[in-house]
Chain A
Amino acid sequence: MTKPASSTAFGARFGYRISPVGLTAAAVVLFWGAVALFAPRLVPYSVGEIVDADYFGPISRELWLGSDYLGRDVFSRILMGARYTVGISLAAVAIACICGVTLGMIAAITGGLPDTILSRFLDAMSSIPSKLFSLVVVAAVGSSIPVLIITLSVIYIPGAYRFARALAVNINTMDFVMVARVRGESLGYLIRAEILPNIVGPVLADLGLRFVFIVLLLSGLSFLGLGVQPPYADWGALVHENIGGLAFGAPAVIFPSLAIASLTISVNLLIDNLPTKIRDRGAA
């Protein structure tokens, strides 16, 4: 990435440069986070309640985003859907990154045969297309929220591993790590006190990108009817159940898609506009 030319005086003094695009993106992400947290208090109608005699109703004063294929309130269902989309994706990305980054740091510090075996194995894992992998798992064990979280995190562990390992290998050659090693520090200490603090910025940025992939994969699965199962519905499932309204251009199909797009595009833009100091520190 090339450094923005305008990050001179202000950037030099504070080390950070805040772009308006990044700020807007952050606001959208925070908005959806808050919606996911407080959805039960925000919804105007209960998600299961049939409030419209007509199905695929238009936008109106009572039903802000129209009604779905059963005449339920789309606005309420999107607010509640945020909990599943954001919640499942966050849980999966947290597990994927904790496992992947820990393994990556261990591999980088240990080196040798364990590193080779782990790298080869996880590389093989990552050459299974992600949608396919999740389809196979869903076929085998059926779809439930815990299964989805575990599957999504397993799919994205190799990527997190590879990223963290590449960064950690660079840090590992630094003198201060050598000193710590000579001091006789344990593996746990090296990871916690020497490597992790030096790679945490790029790792968090990478976590954001991986979050986007997970949201997209989860939505895709739910869209196929193989993700979150009724009575729960995430945004992908909302599109799936209302797909019949597509031919009439019903708001029930359009708005859940827009919700997904607003979240994923915002996270991407936020990461893209992070101060380079955070994003690129130590990146290979």
Chain B
Amino acid sequence: MSAGVSTRVSRLVLTRLLIALITLIIVSFAVFFATALLPGDTASMLLGQAATPEAVEGLRKAMHLNDPAIFRFLRWINGLLHGDLGISYANNLPVAQLIGGRLVNTLKLAGITALISVPLALTLGVTAAMLRGTLYDRGLTIVTIGAVSVPEFMVATLAVLLFAVYLNWLPAISFTNQIKSFSDLLRAYAMPVVTLTVVVSAQMIRMSRAAVVETLDTPYIEMALLKGASRPRIVLRHALPNALGPIVNAVALSLSYLLGGVIIVETIFNYPGIAKLMVDAVATRDLPLIQTCAIIFCLGYLALITVADIIAILANPRLR
């Protein structure tokens, strides 16, 4: 029996992965066409107003701009798969070179945020569910509703107002590359990380609280209560193992909010990451750069939500 069931689970997981792959193809298609087919001739834009029609035509040929869109799409995808990300319009450097270090910076920021926010949010979420209905729980609910209802830039500006303007602990909006000591590092990362942590944790607290509350409402928890188990024991021994799947699912989904947050946070704090690079590329209409950044972001987002779904499948005891 267990063999038959495990093939069912693996089939579900494989289906989910296949869906993710199809989605990725549709998404890259959408990104390519949104940027490549919309108005503005790339060749004449690159050469400027003084270019002769012959020069524009020559460049169009060289860049394969006269080919049907589907061929250009396939060539672009082929390049992506082989690590050839194209050349940035704005400064004539290979996109891969521009992105490399920036991507590491963004991942560093995201990693530190995750390291802080996941334990913090889970502790708050689970304890709020344990103490449901108390002042602590209601207070936390109000704070998290507030945090998810306001734009990310407001969290960032409030952090600046609080820590830089009123308390004078940290320098206002500035990110320096001159990191000499640990305290420099702390000062440089403090505000971006605090902002992102608030944005991501608010989601995570709400979702993990909901997951535990749902488990605590089940009959077997009532049974544990009736047999006289203590409150911490009910939550830790009985509820948490079953709520683990939904909680991990919530963590993965909440972390996908990092993507939106990171765009705002990198811009406001002038952090040299890939999101800042993309926002600048949008201002200069640097299409190859935008396309690559967009694909990287979509890939990260898709990976997170796919992982969340797969965990939900694996954690569902009815499928085991």
Residues of B with C-beta under 8 A to A137 = 34
In the bound assembly, the distance between CA atoms of A254 and B279 in angstroms comes to: 24
**A102 CB to nearest B CB, Å:** 22
A39 at the interface (CB under 8 A from B): no
Decide: A136 and B172 in contact? CB cutoff 8 A: no
Interface SS of B by simple majority: helix
Q: Are A249 and B165 in contact, CB atoms less than 8 angstroms apart?
A: yes
Could you say which of B146, B263, B302 contacts A224, with CB atoms under 8 Å apart?
B263
Interchain CB contact under 8 A, A141 and B294: no
Verify A128–B298 contact, CB threshold 8 A. Answer: yes
Tally of A-B residue pairs with Cβ under 8 A? 143
Known: A127-B23, A136-B35, A216-B151. A265 touches B263 (CB 8 A): no
Instruction: Identify which of B26, B146, B153, B302 contacts A265 (C-beta below 8 A).
Output: B146
**Distance of A174 Cα from B19 Cα, bound (Å):** 31
> Is there an interface contact between A128 and B30, defined as CB atoms closer than 8 Å?
yes
Distance to closest chain A CB from B191 (angstroms): 12
Residues of A near B149 (CB, < 8 A) are 212, 216, 261, 264-265, 267-268
CB distance from A107 to the nearest CB of B (A): 18
Mark A244-277 against chain B: 1 for CB-CB distance below 8 A, else 0. 0011110001100100110011011100100000
The bracket for how many chain A residues form the interface is: 35 or more
> Are A130 and B35 touching (Cβ within 8 A)?
no
Q: Name the interface residues of A111-153: CB closer than 8 Å to any CB of B.
A: 120-121, 123-125, 127-132, 135-141
Give which listed residue, A216, A223, A247, A269, contacts B173 with CB less than 8 A: A247
With CB as the reference atom, state the residue of chain A lying closest to B284: A139
In the complex, which residue of chain B has the Cβ closest to the Cβ of A239? B153
> Which chain A residues numbered 161 to 201 have a C-beta less than 8 Å away from chain B?
none
CA distance A248 to B157 in the complex (A): 12
Give the residues in chain B near A129, CB-CB below 8 Å.
256, 259-260, 297-298, 301
Interface 0/1 of B283-320, CB less than 8 Å to A: 10101001000100110011001000000000000000
Q: Is the CB of B39 within 8 A of A139?
A: no
B260 touches A247 (CB 8 A): no
Task: From B145, B166, B290, give the contact of A139 (CB < 8 A).
Answer: B290
Hey, which chain B residues are within 8 Å of A135, CB to CB? 263, 278-279, 282, 290, 294
Cβ 8 A contact of B150, one of A139, A141, A243, A264: A264
B14 at the interface (CB under 8 A from A): no
Chain B residues near A267 (CB-CB < 8 A): 149
Q: B288 to nearest A CB, angstroms?
A: 11
A89 contacts the other chain (CB 8 A):
no
Is B152 touching A265 in the complex (CB atoms < 8 A)? Answer: no
Nearest chain A residue, comparing its CB with the CB of B150: A261
* B274: min CB distance to chain A, Å: 11
A-chain residues with CB within 8 Å of residue B263 when the two chains form the complex: 131-132, 135, 220, 224
Docked CA distance A265–B294 (Å): 30
Give the distance to chain B from A153, nearest Cβ to Cβ, in Å.
15
**Cβ of B242 < 8 Å from any Cβ of A?**
no
- A226 contacts the other chain (Cβ, under 8 Å)? yes
Known contacts A139-B281, A224-B267; is-contact A124 B26 (Cβ 8 Å): yes
Q: How far is the CA of A140 from the CA of B278 in the complex (A)?
A: 13
Q: How far is the CB of A175 from chain B (nearest CB, A)?
A: 29
In the complex, what's the smallest C-beta–C-beta distance from A31 to chain B, in angstroms? 17
Q: Which of A139, A212, A226, A257 contacts B35 (CB 8 A)?
A: A139
Closest CB in chain A relative to B97 CB, distance in Å? 21
What's the least CB distance linking B293 to chain A, in Å?
8
- CB neighbours (8 Å) of B150 from chain A are 216, 257, 260-261, 264-265
Which residues between 116 and 172 of chain B lie within 8 Å of chain A, taking CB atoms? 145-146, 148-154, 157-158, 160-161, 164-166, 172
Minimum CB–CB distance for A251 against chain B, Å = 11
Give the CA-CA distance A130 to B152 in the complex, in Å.
14
Are A132 and B23 neighbours in the complex by a CB distance under 8 Å? no
Q: Can you list 9 A-B contacts (CB < 8 A)?
A: A121-B26, A139-B35, A224-B267, A246-B161, A246-B165, A249-B165, A253-B157, A257-B158, A268-B145
Given contacts A265-B145, A265-B146, could you give 16 more A-B pairs where the C-beta distance is less than 8 Å? A120-B19, A127-B298, A128-B27, A132-B297, A136-B31, A140-B40, A141-B38, A216-B150, A216-B151, A220-B260, A224-B263, A246-B165, A249-B166, A261-B154, A264-B150, A269-B145
Residues of chain A at the chain B interface (Cβ within 8 Å): 120-121, 123-125, 127-132, 135-141, 212, 216, 219-220, 223-226, 236, 239, 243, 246-249, 253-254, 257, 260-261, 264-265, 267-269, 272
